[in-house]
Amino acid sequence: MFDDFFTRALVAGIGIAMTAGPLGCFIIWRRMAYFGDTMAHSALLGVALSLLLDINLIVSVFVVASLVAILLLALQRAGTLSADALLGILSHASLSLGLVLLAFMTWVRVDLVGFLFGDILAVSRSDIDAIWGGGVLVLIALVYLWRPLIASTVSEDIAEAEGLSPKRARLYFMLLLALVIAIAMKIVGILLITSLLIIPAATARRWSSSPETMAVMAALIGAAAVVGGLFGSLRFDTPSGPSIVVAALAIFVVSLIPLSRPAGAASERGPS
């Protein structure tokens, strides 16, 4: 009953949600929402460079987003401007650079709206391979990095003192984030990737009693949002990315309704 493109979009979207959910948990635990946004915005510069230099789109976006992340870390360490101001500058500068560069390239015609907000029609068979291949890679790496990442999220000092190399874990985390942005761009679009990272994770908090369950819950909630959003997109002829975000928002709002007490939170408070 589905057109073929729709099945492809579903498979691709679920693949992205499964990887974005666990990574998104770290983004909210580490308060990196704006950081993720900045990396995502730099993806458009990656798109422009990919067209200009005729290289693979995913590779180009991955490289640009990684470089922006490393640049941000270096500038933060230099410490002349606040992290907030730096993020604001890099976020919109890289987005604008990408747009300007694309405008110069009069010989290419790109569907800008598709890149910015996602386009289910654009999902090809090879995109699905990239999404699932990349997604499995991200999840395996995340399992491998789990302990140092959790430990350094709780306390960089403890992680470092007890020999877990938090700085290396953070660098790998940035690379994973860049990879997810590169593969998620086509489905949800550059401007909305961060919401697919954050909203399912924030929703999962309500029903989680450990970091591990929260990561799994975020993946499942993200997948549900993708399914709901894509069906909505088909039904109402709305752009795929915003539809998925609206579906995620709907689940988040439901999670706020106090139907039952949150698992593991106040209810399990020990005597003091």
Partner 1 sequence: MLQRKHSDEYLLALDGAGVQRGGRWLVRGVSFEVRRGEIVTMIGPNGSGKSTSARMAIGLMRPNEGEVMTRAGLRVGYVPQKMAIDRTMPLTVERLMSLTGPLTRKEIDAALTETGARHLAKAEVQNLSGGEFQRALLARAIARKPDLLVLDEPVQGVDFSGEIALYELISDIRNRSGCGVLLISHDLHVVMAATDTVICMNGHVCCRGTPEVVSRSAEYQTLFGGRGSTALAFYSHRHDHTHLPDGRVQHQDGSLTDHCHPEDGHHDHDHHDHDHVHGPDCGCGHDHARLVRPAPGGKGGSDVR
128 binds partner 1 (CB under 8 A): no
Instruction: Show contacts with partner 1 in window 3-62 (CB under 8 A).
Output: 28-31
Burial pattern 198-222, b for ≥16 Cβ within 10 A else e, equals bbbbbbbbbbbeebeebbbbbbebb
Smallest gap, in angstroms, from Cβ of residue 90 to partner 1?
A: 23
Size of the site for partner 1 (CB under 8 A): 35
Q: Please, are residues 203 and 248 in contact by the beta-carbon 8 Å criterion?
A: yes
Smallest gap, in angstroms, from Cβ of residue 151 to partner 1?
A: 5
157 binds partner 1 (CB under 8 A): yes
Among 11, 34, 70, 160, binds partner 1 (CB under 8 A): 160
- Pick from 163, 162, 187: nearest CA to 40: 187
Q: Please, are residues 177 and 36 in contact by the beta-carbon 8 Å criterion?
A: yes
Instruction: Show contacts with partner 1 in window 162-181 (CB under 8 A).
Output: 162-164
Smallest gap, in angstroms, from Cβ of residue 150 to partner 1?
A: 7
Nearer to partner 1, 166 or 229 (CB): 166
Instruction: Show contacts with partner 1 in window 227-256 (CB under 8 A).
Output: none
For residue 82, what are its two tokens?
């606040």
Smallest gap, in angstroms, from Cβ of residue 272 to partner 1?
A: 6
Distance CA 33, CA 194 (A): 7
210 binds partner 1 (CB under 8 A): yes
Distance CA 123, CA 10 (A): 10
Stretch that binds partner 1, among 91-99, 110-118, 134-142, 208-216 (CB under 8 A): 208-216
For residue 20, what are its two tokens?
């974005």
Distance CA 225, CA 246 (A): 8
Nearer to partner 1, 35 or 132 (CB): 35
Map tokens 């795929």 to a residue.
Answer: 240
146 binds partner 1 (CB under 8 A): no
Nearer to partner 1, 7 or 82 (CB): 82
Smallest gap, in angstroms, from Cβ of residue 261 to partner 1?
A: 13
Smallest gap, in angstroms, from Cβ of residue 231 to partner 1?
A: 29
Among 205, 227, 246, 255, binds partner 1 (CB under 8 A): 205
- What does the binding site for partner 1 look like in residue numbers (CB under 8 A)? 28-31, 147, 150-151, 153-155, 157-164, 201-202, 205, 208-211, 213-214, 264-266, 268-272
